[in-house]
Structure 1
Amino acid sequence: MARKYRHLLPALAATLILGYGPAQAQSVNAGDREASSSQPFAVETLANFNTPWAMAFLPDGRLLITEKPGAIYLVSQSGEKTEVGNVPAVLASGQNGLLDIAIAPDFGTSSRVYYSYVEPNEGGRLVLASATLAISDAGTTLADNAIVWRQTPAGGRGQPGGIIAFDPEGKHVFLSVGDRMEPASAQDAAQARGKVIRLNLDGTVPSDNPFAGQGDVQDMTWTTGHRNPYGLAFAEDGRLWLHEMGPQGGDEFNLIEKGSNYGWPVVSNGDEYSGAPIPDHDTHPEFAAPAVYWNPVIAPAGLAFYDGELFPDWKGSALIGGLRAQALVRVAFDAEGRPDEAERWAMGGRIRDIAVAPDGAVWLIEDAGNGRLMRLTPGD
């Protein structure tokens, strides 16, 4: 075990007593897969954005896109952009800024959206907020902004996480929280870092959370031991999946199970950036191991499960963007529900987020100062 993490052992022992789950089946390393330049889809560029970070479709086919420096746009199917007003100030520095955006489960009646960002005070605190998306002839704005959750303690550097997912019942919101480049905090139960948290839609704590009643951060913790999670989504079968960036190697695709500990920074299938080794997952079976990992890395960002009709062969697949790989990655599941990378396509740019439109088209945004908004449809 790396020497600098030996002090975590007492805390880890207590964590295991609390009931964290066992390791999963043997992990699959998909890092050496090659990206294909032959694409089974046509790519249409519709618009460009300043460092776009996330997108979410409205029921009518329009979508919301966030830009990391602090803007939100309402975008038509043809790529026409309308800036959304009343967006809060953000700390736009490095990996921090305006992050994810998601449509509330009851959007049809409430017009509420949820979004995450790093606020500029107290050293940069990750925030989950909600607001009413008010669309009128006079313009589009966020109204009735409300803070759902704030990271405790405040501060940290990069790796904020900030990905939002709602359970299939529409009763709870899940949020991925990165370790903020403070690795040991991922195993500190009192710090909202390196965790997936689960809340009621109004920010209160569900009574059936695994550690409810044990303290502020513990109350809301669903899983722990994460590093830099930039993908979180429910599959059609109701299972929750997360991907996260490893250090020097070891990107992970994890099945998220209630109360489990995924081991960072005690274990990883990658190494420190200095070259110092980190014990692999198979040396610590008490931690949940990734179903798939990538070494070399793809730097995963964005996660969507395909449920459309335009690409029938993709039904049920996870679509993942690759920043380092500059690719679109498709992960398929076998008859027993085990995932493996099935295909990888070179996209000529860092893919930051993925969304499936109501008509089944796949939309991508590129992580760049003039990042492309792309629509994929069947064709050459």
Structure 2
Amino acid sequence: MFRVFMMILFLSLSAVSATAQTLPTSAGNIEVTKMVGGLDTPWAVGILPDGTFLVTERDGDLLFVRNGKTNTVRGVPKVAATGQGGLLDVTIPRDFAQSREVFLTFSKPQNQGAGTAVAVARLSENGKRLTNVRVIYEATPGGSGGRHFGSRVVEARDGTLFVTIGDRGEPDSAQDRSSPMGSVIRINRNGSIPADNPFVGQSNVKPEIWSFGHRNPQGAALDARGRLWVSEHGARGGDEVNQPRAGRNYGWPVISYGTHYSGQKIGEGTAKAGLEQPKLFWDPSIAPSGLLVYSGKLLPQWKGDIFVGSLKFDYIARLAGNPLREVEQIKGPETERVRDIVEAPDGSIWFISVGKGAVYRMAP
């Protein structure tokens, strides 16, 4: 009986060690555990209070994961899965335990293409279905191309929602405030416009706009003071981290630290009066995606640091200091094309590897 027990224990430990690896970091060796694999172009992960989680796949599937087992959630809105579009972000609001509501962003089919949209729905207790699905915001008019949907959604401290929207491959739209393209918008939870948004009441300006002059912000999160941070793709060079503030213009395509893919200069240079400077920029581009401002719960030495996934160079960038700079690259076989990065309720750091088709958990 003892031999049988020891064999079972050995097999159990072997199974764990097969999915848990170690990465060297400035905070010591960090254990990296695969939480789920076999994913098809995963885009975002949302962790529920009980430790189960949701994962979006760009082609349109929402997956519910419990103990490594997945099921496809029914009731997801129809998406325009073309180019960079599809089912994109998933956000779990603070009141999920009471409301069971989740927020999704996706490229919504339109008459002449698609536009970034936000939906809210209730997740069933067994995680198998969405009910009471409502589209609370849709960027109109959208675009016919399949690029630059942006599409992160962040719940602010006051319960409003910040949503990032890319320029849809039409750079000048980011300076046109009659269009939501190339902006961060702010809406109420039911899709209405907050009365204190910076452009409310101005003629020929979309009242949902919070900040503008953005190219393609694919990462967004709040810091401990409730301030919004975003990471956004530049062109050839010029990827940025910004801290969007109400009514501010972040410059695209008038100023940029990048160049066109042809090598030609973009706009008027790297600075201009009245246009905001990035908190940090990369050249060459790292193709930044998900962004996290870490609480320090499990790793106090990283408290307040910003983590950004790189799709191009297969690492997680740790940013710190004032001025902000990249101080560490966390890299291993698991960090292949990092698309999303979030903090779990227990303080562990979770990230999506598109290259591995998996969700991983990092913890000491």
Q: Distance in 1 between matches of 2:195 and 2:211?
A: 16
Give yes or no for contact 2:33–2:361 (8 Å, CA) kept in 1. Answer: yes
Alignment match, 1:127: 117
Give the Å deviation of 1:184.
0.7
Counterparts of 1:59-70 in structure 2, within 5 Å, are: 59-70=49-60
1:159-206 alpha-carbon deviations (Å, 9 max, x no partner): 100100111122x10100000001111111111100111111111111
Give yes or no for contact 2:271–2:277 (8 Å, CA) kept in 1. Answer: no
Higher mean Cα deviation, 117-126 or 50-59?
117-126
Q: Distance in 1 between matches of 2:33 and 2:136?
A: 37
Give the Å deviation of 1:313.
1.1
Counterparts of 1:209-358 in structure 2, within 5 Å, are: 209-215=197-203, 218-279=206-267, 282-334=270-322, 338-348=323-333, 349-358=336-345
Q: Which residue identity lines up with residue 110 of structure 2 in the other structure?
A: N
Alignment match, 2:361: 375
Q: 1:190 aligns to what SS in structure 2?
A: coil
Give the Å deviation of 1:94.
1.5
Give the Å deviation of 1:308.
4.4
| Equivalent residue in structure 2 for 1:161, among 121, 143, 150 | 150
Counterparts of 1:53-64 in structure 2, within 5 Å, are: 53-64=43-54
Give the Å deviation of 1:276.
0.3
Q: 2:231 aligns to what SS in structure 1?
A: strand
Structure 2, gaps ≥5 residues long: 1-22
Per the alignment, do residues 296 and 47 of structure 1 end up closer, same or farther by CA in structure 2, a change over 3 Å counting?
A: same
Q: 1:108 aligns to what SS in structure 2?
A: helix
Alignment match, 2:171: 183
Structure 1, gaps ≥5 residues long: 1-36
* 2:104 is the counterpart of 1:115: yes
Q: Distance in 1 between matches of 2:129 and 2:205?
A: 32
Q: Distance in 1 between matches of 2:349 and 2:166?
A: 27
Give the Å deviation of 1:347.
3.2
Alignment match, 2:30: 41
1:287-308 alpha-carbon deviations (Å, 9 max, x no partner): 0010100001111110111114
RMSD (Å), alpha carbons: 1.7
Q: Distance in 1 between matches of 2:93 and 2:297?
A: 24
Give yes or no for contact 1:152–1:217 (8 Å, CA) kept in 2. Answer: no
Alignment match, 2:18: none
Q: Which residue identity lines up with residue 375 of structure 1 in the other structure?
A: R
Q: 2:35 aligns to what SS in structure 1?
A: strand
Q: Which residue identity lines up with residue 339 of structure 2 in the other structure?
A: R
Give the Å deviation of 1:89.
1.6
- TM-score, normalised with respect to structure 2: 0.88
Give the Å deviation of 1:323.
0.3
* 2:350 is the counterpart of 1:363: yes
Q: 1:109 aligns to what SS in structure 2?
A: helix
Q: Distance in 1 between matches of 2:353 and 2:237?
A: 22
- TM-score, normalised with respect to structure 1: 0.84
Give the Å deviation of 1:228.
0.7
Q: Which residue identity lines up with residue 350 of structure 2 in the other structure?
A: W
Give the Å deviation of 1:282.
4.3
Kindly, what percent of the aligned residue pairs are identical?
40
Alignment match, 1:26: none
Q: Distance in 2 between matches of 1:339 and 1:169?
A: 27
Q: Distance in 1 between matches of 2:140 and 2:203?
A: 12
1:220-251 alpha-carbon deviations (Å, 9 max, x no partner): 11000000100111100221111100000000
Q: 2:207 aligns to what SS in structure 1?
A: helix
Q: Distance in 1 between matches of 2:129 and 2:82?
A: 24
Q: Distance in 2 between matches of 1:362 and 1:252?
A: 22
Higher mean Cα deviation, 356-365 or 38-47?
38-47
Give yes or no for contact 2:45–2:55 (8 Å, CA) kept in 1. Answer: yes
Give yes or no for contact 1:304–1:318 (8 Å, CA) kept in 2. Answer: yes
Alignment match, 1:29: none
Give yes or no for contact 1:356–1:362 (8 Å, CA) kept in 2. Answer: yes
**Greater C-alpha Rg:** 2
* 2:93 is the counterpart of 1:104: yes
Give the Å deviation of 1:80.
2.0
Per the alignment, do residues 260 and 346 of structure 1 end up closer, same or farther by CA in structure 2, a change over 3 Å counting?
A: same
| Equivalent residue in structure 1 for 2:64, among 58, 71, 74 | 74
Alignment match, 1:143: 131
Aligned residues: 334
Q: Distance in 1 between matches of 2:31 and 2:204?
A: 49
Q: Distance in 2 between matches of 1:266 and 1:44?
A: 43
Q: 2:122 aligns to what SS in structure 1?
A: strand
Q: Distance in 1 between matches of 2:327 and 2:299?
A: 14
Give yes or no for contact 1:210–1:221 (8 Å, CA) kept in 2. Answer: yes
